[in-house]
Chains A and B, each alone.
Chain A
Amino acid sequence: MQRYILRRIVLMVPTLFGTTFLVFAMMRLMPGDFTDFLGGDFGALDAETKALIQAEFGLDQNWAVQYVGWIADLLRGDFGVSVYSGRPINEDLIQRLPITLELGILAMVINVIIGIPIGIISAIRQFSWYDYVGRASAIGLLAVPNFWIALLAIALAGKYALWAVPTPTYPGLLEDPIENIRFMLFPAILTGAAGAGYQMRFGRTAMLEVMRQDYIRTAWSKGLQERAVIIKHGLRNALIPIVTVIGLFLPGLIGGTVVIETIYSIPGMGRYFIHALNGRDLFIVQALAVIFTLVVIFSNFVVDILYSVLNPRIRYS
């Protein structure tokens, strides 16, 4: 087990360097850089000024020097500065990270409380009307574009003065918790919805798989009550894959927060990313891409480890 964990950690290193370099290279291969936008309404800057500004951020050096410098900064926990405001990115992140984290956690909770129970009941009552409705709605959730529902909700809320009217500014979680939850709940539902569809389908499969096992047949033939068979023998075993798979929804969830934050004007990391990318604020884009990637790599790692701990039948070589 320890050897497996160690091996897994060692394998994460090339992935990390690979992804950071990929993001780094992409930002430099993009057509146009921030100096093209700096002139604003007063026309483009001349080449000399551009070169001066680029030199100020070390962008005149060759890639190897820039990359090593950036990685060294990252390892010291320094994400660099915004090329527009000159503010350290760390300061911006302290404000924005908790917001996206809140959205992500809420979405995750919604994903789990909608997805898992429906999936499991669907499996227990396989081929009943409940199962059909459950499966059809799971596919519905996968198919519905969350930005569409978000727009319709905003339009309807505006018309009929429903509670989901987005206030123009984001109320802080600590300053005004109730208003904050009211503001965040609907975006969170939308962010979590697609994942809930997957969770339902996955939960159903996992439960079906378990219910076909010999020990379930034994439990039935012992004359145990339905409750005991399903909950003690079935659910307990099905929950292992179901719980571990939650971590795998993260990449989709991060994409979801980008879209939903843009629509609802939530000042989190997703909106920060889009805004920075459109202005080619390269250090911000790099920082965010690295953070998102770290979250995914780390959660995959935890999923793998959890899985092998919870399920002793699976031993990695």
Chain B
Amino acid sequence: MASAAQQEDTQEILFGMRQADERPLYKKAVAGTKSFAVKYPMGMVGAVIMVLLVAMAIVPALFTPLSVQKADSIIGIHIGDRFESPGSQWWFGTNALGRDMYGRLIYGARTAIMIGFGAVILAKLLSTFIGTVSAFFGGWIDAAIQRVVEMVQSIPTLIFLILFVVMLEPRLPDIGPLSSDMLVILLVVAVHSGFVSSRTVRGVALSLREEVYVEAAQALGASDARIMAKHMVPNLFAYVIVSASLFVGAAVLLESSLSFLGYGVQPPAPSWGRELNEAREELARYPHLAFFPGLFIFATVWSFNMFGDALRDRLDPRLRGST
């Protein structure tokens, strides 16, 4: 099923109303970005912040002065340097353990982005799978899956996450840069959202199931798995991409809420939410310790939401401005 815009393009090219676009790929990309920026200025601002954050997560050294890059100033303990005010040496000051706040926040981007992206990718795979299977088979399989989805949905999100995190916490191994506590949050957020958002996927998949081409594939004797993988899932793609871009922000916010309550990322790993939690102790005297971590969380969630919103308008105008 080509989108309306694609069909229009094909027609114009076929009937010679417009030349096919033969510019090299990078020029098309530049032009595409430009038109996106003109049409959705706020979305573009979001995209720029997003790119910065991802860069921060991949190469934090680009953003920090040399003196901060030593792991020691980020996860070491320096009693002599406790609670320094923001200044030329410590840009955002130092915290209760004498750690450089600026460095910790920059390195915290990696934690947030890893958990955010990881949870979203897993969640969307899961929700696409559950939603498609549930819609395709219908009957008792659908009914059973929907009961499980309802169960997950009925427990308030934060309560569900906290209970599962506490249950799983020390039981998972570290995988590469993901320590076991990060892995737990990633998995729990992904599973929760995977189940909950499978409902909308199911709704879309139910209508796809009625399409003529699915019927045609069935008539030709295609297997169930093939119909789902080749005919239904590709048509869910635009929807899934858009909802994924909108969910990264939510995942980052959930991670910081958990870390703030003390159930999330464990010290000494840098995490914005955890940093806010620690700032509570000396809040009256050192409010800047609470200001900067929150600003990072806010900027991240805001930029992903802004970009996701613009992307949705661009890819699926029917959904424009919906929640």
Taking a contact as CB atoms under 8 Å apart, the answer to whether A140 and B302 are in contact is: yes
Stretch with Cβ within 8 A of B (4 or more), from A22-30, A87-95, A106-114, A183-191: A22-30
Q: Is the interface of A mostly helix, strand, loop or mixed?
A: helix
Determine whether the beta carbon of B253 is less than 8 Å from that of A145: yes
Indicate if B7 sits at the interface (CB-CB under 8 A): no
Q: Does B323 contact A (CB under 8 A)?
A: yes
Is B187's CB within 8 Å of the partner chain A?
Answer: no
CA distance A137 to B314 in the complex (A): 21
CB atoms of B147 and A202 under 8 A apart: no
Check if B159 sits within 8 Å of A29, measured CB to CB: no
Alpha-carbon separation in the docked complex, A59 to B18 (Å): 76
Rounded to whole angstroms, the CA-CA distance of A31 and B19 in the bound complex is 66
* In the complex, per-residue mask of B273-287: 1 if CB is within 8 Å of any chain A CB, else 0: 100100110011001
Task: Give the residue name and chain of the B residue nearest to A245 (CB).
Answer: B323
Known: A145-B253, A251-B157, A259-B257. A152 touches B151 (CB 8 A): no
Digit string of B31-60 for contact with A (CB within 8 Å is 1, else 0)?
000000000001000000000000000000
Docked complex Cα distance between A165 and B42 (Å): 36
Contact B156 A292 (CB under 8 A): yes
Q: Assess the B309–A139 pair: CB atoms within 8 A.
A: yes
Q: Contacts A26-B167, A139-B305 given: A145-B287 contact, CB under 8 Å?
A: no
Query: Contact: A19 with B302, CB < 8 Å?
Result: no
The answer to whether A201 and B158 have CB atoms under 8 Å apart is: no
Query: Which residue of B is nearest A289, CB measured?
Result: B159
Q: Report whether A148 and B294 are in contact in the complex, using a CB–CB cutoff of 8 Å.
A: yes
Asked if B283 contacts A154 (CB within 8 A), the reply is: yes
A-side contacts of B256, CB under 8 Å: 145
In the assembled complex, which residues on chain A have CB atoms less than 8 Å from the CB atom of B294? 145, 148-149, 151-152
> How far is B283's CA from A135's CA once the two chains are assembled, in angstroms?
32
Question: Which of B170, B301, B321 lies at the interface centre, i.e. has the most chain A CB atoms within 10 A of its CB?
Answer: B321
Contacts of A159 in B (CB 8 A): 284, 287
A139–B306 CB distance below 8 A: yes
Known: A26-B163, A292-B156. A142 touches B305 (CB 8 A): yes
Q: Interface residues of A, CB < 8 Å — how many?
A: 57
A155–B323 contact, CB under 8 A?
A: no
CB of B212 within 8 A of chain A?
Answer: no
A19 touches B323 (CB 8 A): no
B281 CB to nearest A CB, Å: 11
Q: What are the residues of chain A within 8 A of B162 when measuring CB–CB?
A: 258, 274, 277
Contact A156 B157, beta carbon cutoff 8 Å: no
Given A151-B294, A254-B159, A18 and B170 touching (CB < 8 A)? no
Q: Is the CB of B151 within 8 A of A19?
A: yes
Q: Is the CB of A205 within 8 A of B148?
A: no
Picked from A14, A135, A142, the residue with its CB within 8 Å of the CB of B301 is A142
User: B155 is contacted by which of A11, A285, A293 (Cβ under 8 Å)?
Assistant: A293
A202-B323, A204-B321, A259-B257 given; A155·B290 CB < 8 A? yes
Distance from B268 Cβ to chain A, minimum over Cβ atoms (Å): 21
- Report chain B residues within 8 Å CB of A6: none
Min CB–CB distance B106 → chain A (angstroms): 18
- Does B291 interact with chain A (Cβ within 8 Å)? yes
CB-defined contacts of B322 to chain A, threshold 8 Å: 201-202, 205
A18:B291 contact, CB within 8 angstroms: no
Contacts of B279 in A (CB 8 A): 151
Bound form: Cα–Cα A148–B283 in Å: 12
Decide yes or no whether A15 CB sits under 8 A from chain B: yes
A230 → chain B closest CB, angstroms: 18
Query: Residues 1-22 of chain A: 1 if any B CB is under 8 Å from the residue's CB, otherwise 0?
Result: 0000000000100110011001
Is B297 at the interface (CB under 8 A from chain A)? yes
Interface flag for B154 (CB, 8 Å): yes
Q: Does B159 contact A136, Cβ atoms closer than 8 Å?
A: no
B159 touches A273 (CB 8 A): yes
- Contact partner of B167 (CB less than 8 A), chosen from A30, A262, A300, is A30
- Check A147–B257 contact: CB distance below 8 A: yes
Contact B171 A31 (CB under 8 A): yes
In the complex, the answer to whether A143 meets B171 with C-beta atoms within 8 Å is: no
Separation of A41 and B287 alpha carbons in the complex (Å): 33
Contact of B290 among A31, A143, A151, A292 (CB under 8 A): A151
Find out whether the CB atom of A145 lies under 8 angstroms from the CB atom of B159.
no
Closest 8 pairs (CB-CB, A-B): A148-B294, A255-B158, A155-B287, A143-B301, A143-B302, A254-B156, A18-B151, A205-B322
Residues of chain B whose beta carbon lies under 8 Å from any beta carbon of chain A: 42, 147-148, 150-151, 153-159, 162-164, 166-167, 169-171, 249, 253, 256-257, 260-261, 273, 276, 279-280, 283-284, 287, 290-291, 293-294, 297-298, 301-302, 305-306, 309, 321-323
Given contacts A19-B154, A151-B294, A259-B261, 4 further A-B contacts (CB under 8 A): A147-B260, A155-B290, A274-B162, A292-B159
